[in-house]
Amino acid sequence: MRHVLLSVLVLLVASSALAKEKKSKPKGHSAKGSILLNDEQVLVRWTDGDSFKFLSGKYDGKGTRLVGYNTLEAYGPVHRWGEWTTRELFAIAEASSQVAASREWSCTTDGKADGYGRVLVNCPQLAEEMIRQGHGLAYAVEGTSPENLLEAQRDAMKQKRGMWEKGVVKGVITSLHSVGEDGDDSNEPYNRVVDTRTGSALKREHKNKYEMCQEVCEVTDGDTSCMTFVPFKRRYKNKPDCLK
């Protein structure tokens, strides 16, 4: 009887500790950290693997977009190619913020913003590390990516790290836009597809109107990559079922 009571007590303590651990575990996929921005230490909260929000300093409260690389979208299970399921690639996307927050990176900015008003930030060592671990794609809106980033990507592919564990594709969709997405049927939508051999993030213009949660696929030299369409306004608030 004594042994039984002792065993029950051990189980109760373990259950209590597990409950506390679950309760204290942060929700979502964000991660806090710090960077050296223009040689000044600032606190940040990584919202995914290629963007963060400033928590201190000159740009306190502003969002960012890191240049040179791109990570998979972390707002929901939207990517698919090869043998991967959307849920499996989503797990990699969610883990990317933890990888980015694991070290204090040296970064620079001139304060310029992208089309969404996010401060453009350059963290060269971070870009190379995220790509080498298979958590990021070499990404160049103009021209091709620097050779060191392409070499890191080739190494990740060869070693089957991260998103390359189940094989390599020549192109990955990184963004979708639909006719009438912002209530304007006269807009000129495009999808952006990154060539994984060169890092070139090229626009593919089209005249298609996508439905909520529609899967859209693009072919690059015989390889197919797909992404689920969700308008920007529905990615973080009032999410459709396909993102839950």
The string of pLDDT tens digits covering residues 182-214 is 776 767 899 999 999 999 999 999 999 999 999
Please determine, for residue 68, whether its predicted confidence score (pLDDT) is greater than 60.
yes
pLDDT at 187: 78
Of the chain, the end-to-end C-alpha distance in Å amounts to 48
Q: Is the pLDDT of residue 9 over 60?
A: no
Average pLDDT, the chain: 89
The answer to which of 37-46, 92-101, 174-183, 187-196 has the lowest mean pLDDT is: 174-183
Handedness of CA 156, 157, 158, 160 (dihedral sign): positive
Q: What is the pLDDT of residues 57-66, one digit of tens each?
A: 999 999 999 9
Residues 6 or more apart whose Cβ sits within 8 Å of residue 76? 90, 228, 230, 235, 239, 242, 243, 244
Residue 224: pLDDT band (50, 70, 90) is: very high
Q: Where are the chain's structural domains?
A: 31-243
Residue 166 has pLDDT above 80, yes or no: yes
- Residue 93: is its pLDDT beyond 50? yes
The enclosing H or E element of 148 equals helix 147-158
pLDDT of residue 72: 98
Give the whole-angstrom CA distance, residue 103 versus residue 64: 18
Of 26-35, 47-56, 96-105, 195-204, where does mean pLDDT reach its minimum? 26-35
User: Lowest mean pLDDT: which of 14-18, 117-121, 174-178, 215-219?
Assistant: 14-18
**What is the C-alpha to C-alpha distance for residues 228 and 215, in angstroms, rounded to an integer?**
4
Q: What is the pLDDT of residues 119-140, one digit of tens each?
A: 999 999 999 999 999 999 999 9
pLDDT of residue 19: 41
Which pLDDT does position 11 carry in this prediction?
Answer: 38
According to the model, what pLDDT value does residue 28 have? 53
Annotation: CATH topology of 31-243: OB fold (Dihydrolipoamide Acetyltransferase, E2P) (2.40.50)
Take residue 79 and report the two structure tokens written for it: 């990517």
